A = this chain, B = another copy of it.
């Protein structure tokens, strides 16, 4: 998609050297930050970002968080919680906790905050009359759509629809987005095989499906890749292959898997080897589809395998996958739940594959940073009858309005360019640090600010992340040994410099 919004010049300070981030950080900014400019342009008061991370407590979580988590423990399992947040005091790229610590946040609620905490544009639309109506009157969008729904769809999702996909199916979360795309794929597959003369009423299909038996409940599969993550409902979890803790003890469909390329870094040193690896995986994928005892209706793939360890493949691999799914008459579903909405430097990561609109994926799913969830598709993924791919709410106009504000802001503030610039700066800075601290982290990789690197062991990785948190940086992990960066789209060079400075400090502990 093309971002045709008004482009404002974003002044970002030029780094004076590759190690500029090690110099004193005060008074270094040459222009107001994106968020400060936003706040100045607004008629309402907004808090401003802290100038640097602040950690007041000896440990994180601090004593207030610990006490509040004990209270939460009475009602909900708190064992996954890092700390309790104070959202009223969180601003922009900074997340505050109950103890008054202010973390530079490059994890962002598991990659799902697009513009920053209490962002002016999100606050404004959240206070709007349209929002109040949407909040107070939760619609069944499938049966009783509100009269402004088409307008909302156009102003939000459709302005950034991937080339070639002119339909959007709205859902409640990323798992649902994937599962409902799978259902659309199954219905399409069966319709194709039965032909146009099928009548459901009185059919063997209609009677057998009531007992979960074929042909009505067919043996059909979605193929996914090793290390993939596509969600945690029983269907989507059958395509998730990231970690045992995601899957253990939950019944799964016997759906096939294919190997995902394991690239070697730096890419420029292993071009031939990596190309061969990708070719091997494409051939294996084709063999799995051809030989699967359960027919494959669709292949689902992430542009970057995120939970599974930030595993990348080249555009050539994905073009090859599109080509083979076309040849084998299998649908291709691209899961952009984590990669979508700008963090890779394009609005959708799969835009970087260089596919024509005619070769577009059959469905592209989204959630997380878009706040709203769903999937784009073409007309052919509409089932033959209404009420088939259906549920009560069919999405949430509240979150569609947020999606609209996000698209507006990405266009107006030219955030894709911000991501590209910050991403380049961040990647260069990390590359320098890898040289300064040999034998610490490796395999630096990624596009835009969607970056990752690896440690030798899970323990070292976790020690690094703990050290960073104590210096005021909130980070996430993925895979076994990987650190993933998932900053907001408003993460600028000076934020990156704070981050890099603290990476440097943390790694010095190993020296």
A118 within 8 A of B: yes
Contacts of A119 in B (CB 8 A): 136
Q: Are B82 and A143 in contact (CB under 8 A)?
A: yes
Q: A179-B233, A253-B251, A255-B212 are in contact. Are A393 and B173 (CB under 8 A)?
A: yes
Q: Are B110 and A122 in contact (CB under 8 A)?
A: no
Contacts of A249 in B (CB 8 A): 183, 186-187, 189-191, 205, 209, 216, 218, 388
A209-250 vs B, Cβ < 8 Å mask (1 yes, 0 no):
111110011111100000000011111101001001111111
Q: Are B174 and A176 in contact (CB under 8 A)?
A: no
CB distance from A126 to the nearest CB of B (A): 4
Q: Are A149 and B392 in contact (CB under 8 A)?
A: no
A426 within 8 A of B: no
Cβ-closest chain B residue relative to A390: B80
Q: Are B85 and A144 in contact (CB under 8 A)?
A: yes
Q: Which of B71, B144, B149 contacts A150 (CB 8 A)?
A: B71
Interface size on A, residues (CB 8 A): 126
A504 within 8 A of B: no
Q: Are B135 and A77 in contact (CB under 8 A)?
A: no
Q: Are A251 and B138 in contact (CB under 8 A)?
A: no
Q: Which of B176, B248, B251 contacts A172 (CB 8 A)?
A: B176
Query: Which of A68, A85, A213 is the most central at the interface, judged by chain B CB atoms within 10 Å of its CB?
Result: A85
Q: Are B135 and A117 in contact (CB under 8 A)?
A: no
Q: Are B112 and A392 in contact (CB under 8 A)?
A: yes
Since A186-B249, A191-B249, A233-B235 are in contact, a sample of 17 more A-B pairs with Cβ atoms closer than 8 Å, ordered by chain A residue number, is A74-B166, A76-B153, A76-B168, A79-B386, A80-B390, A83-B144, A85-B144, A88-B133, A109-B143, A109-B144, A112-B393, A113-B138, A119-B136, A173-B392, A212-B238, A232-B390, A234-B253
- The 7 closest A-B CB pairs, nearest first, are A234-B235, A79-B386, A212-B252, A217-B252, A206-B244, A80-B386, A126-B135
